[in-house]
């Protein structure tokens, strides 16, 4: 699996030590998450990433649900390299439901865990055909009954294709929520509930996209670029470096 390329971190003048940022009152990690601070984070993310969107290429709810299943333990970029051929060969749920597993495995191989993912997307397509007349259902309860579909995938599809607000708790949202101080829940479902309680419903879908974008562009897991982060004044991560 290819490693993601990152631009070099900003250089630091020789002889100057990395230092902890002085804490503004808003960034005090001991302060509880108050509404004004949460809304300021929501607004700042909106200014930083006004055009944030799902980066999985898709033209329908069916394509998005398949692409989202394939994105587990992979990257959107990698998934976008395999889905054109996959969807050209199996353009509908009924086509994928009848697919030969070995052929599907070959097509999705670069995304990793290809055997398990092939079974999941074929089985998911079979359920869509058998239980939903070939249409991806637009309700959480029905989506999570499809093979390979958890709440994260369901929220992606509901927000993107059905206009149903939801919080997507992927690895970036988990990491950024903890660093910013929004919530330290490390269980995705518990974090989803915590963010839904903190953030007004109309922001749920875009907040998810924007946190994911920030995690992919600035707040990296290993070397967050705190020195060039537009949320640094609000972030309550005690180890942030400037």
* Site residues (vs ligand SF4, CB under 6 A): 179-180, 218-219, 224-226, 229, 231-232, 235, 237, 240
CB of 48 to ligand SF4, least distance (A): 10
Query: By C-beta, is 61 or 232 nearer to ligand SF4?
Result: 232
For residue 186, indicate whether it is catalytic. no
241: three-class secondary structure by DSSP: strand
SS3 of 186-216: the string is: CCHHHHHHHHHHHCCHHHHHHHHHHHHHHHH
Minimum distance from residue 206 beta carbon to ligand SF4 (Å): 17
How many beta carbons lie within 10 A of that of residue 85, not counting itself?
12
**Is the CB of 165 or the CB of 181 nearer to ligand SF4?**
181
Task: Tell whether the torsion through CA atoms of 167, 172, 177 and 183 is positive or negative.
Answer: positive
Q: Which is nearer to ligand SF4, 46 or 91 (CB)?
A: 46
Q: Tell me how far, at minimum, the Cβ of 102 lies from ligand SF4, in Å.
A: 43
The first and second tokens of residue 50, run together, are 């006004």
Select which of 14, 30, 76, 152 is catalytic.
Answer: 152
Q: 20 φ, ψ to 5°?
A: -70, 145
Min dist. Cβ of residue 203 to ligand SF4 (A): 17
Nearest to 121 by CA among 160, 155, 158, 79: 79
Closest to ligand SF4 by CB, 129 vs 232, is: 232
When computed from its CA atoms, the radius of gyration of the chain, rounded to whole angstroms, is 20
CB of 198 or CB of 231, closer to ligand SF4: 231
Question: 225, exposed or middle or buried, with CB in 10 Å at 0-12, 13-18, 19+?
Answer: middle
Number of alpha carbons in the 13 Å side-chain half-sphere of residue 150: 12
100 is catalytic: no
* Calpha distance 190→130 (Å, rounded): 32
Instruction: State the catalytic residue, choosing from 76, 117, 131, 170.
Output: 170
| DSSP character at residue 60 | S
Q: Measured between alpha carbons, how far is 114 from 5 in angstroms, rounded to an integer?
A: 23
Q: How far is the CB of 172 from ligand SF4 (least distance, A)?
A: 10
Q: How many angstroms separate the CA atoms of 99 and 27, rounded?
A: 53
Residues marked as catalytic:
152, 170
């Amino acid at each position: 699996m290819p490693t993601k390329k990152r631009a070099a971190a900003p250089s630091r003048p020789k002889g100057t030590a990395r230092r902890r940022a002085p804490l503004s009152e808003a960034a005090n990690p001991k302060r509880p998450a108050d509404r004004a601070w949460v809304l300021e984070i929501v607004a700042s993310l909106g200014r930083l990433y006004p055009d944030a969107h799902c980066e999985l290429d898709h033209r329908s709810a069916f394509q998005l649900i398949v692409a989202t299943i394939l994105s587990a333990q992979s990257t959107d970029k990698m998934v976008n390299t395999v889905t054109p051929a996959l969807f050209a060969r199996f353009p509908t749920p009924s086509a994928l439901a009848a697919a030969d597993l070995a052929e599907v495995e070959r097509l999705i191989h670069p995304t990793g865990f290809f055997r398990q993912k092939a079974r999941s997307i074929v089985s998911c397509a079979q359920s869509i055909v058998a239980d939903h007349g070939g249409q991806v259902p637009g309700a959480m309860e029905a989506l999570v009954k499809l093979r390979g579909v958890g709440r994260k995938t369901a929220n992606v599809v509901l927000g993107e294709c059905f206009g149903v607000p939801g919080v997507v708790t992927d690895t970036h949202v988990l990491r950024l929520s903890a660093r910013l101080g929004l919530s330290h829940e490390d269980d995705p479902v518990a974090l989803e509930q915590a963010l839904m309680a903190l953030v007004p419903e109309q922001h749920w879908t875009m907040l998810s996209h924007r946190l994911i974008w920030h995690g992919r562009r600035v707040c990296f897991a290993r070397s967050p670029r705190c020195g060039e982060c537009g949320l640094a004044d609000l972030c309550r991560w005690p180890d942030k470096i400037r």
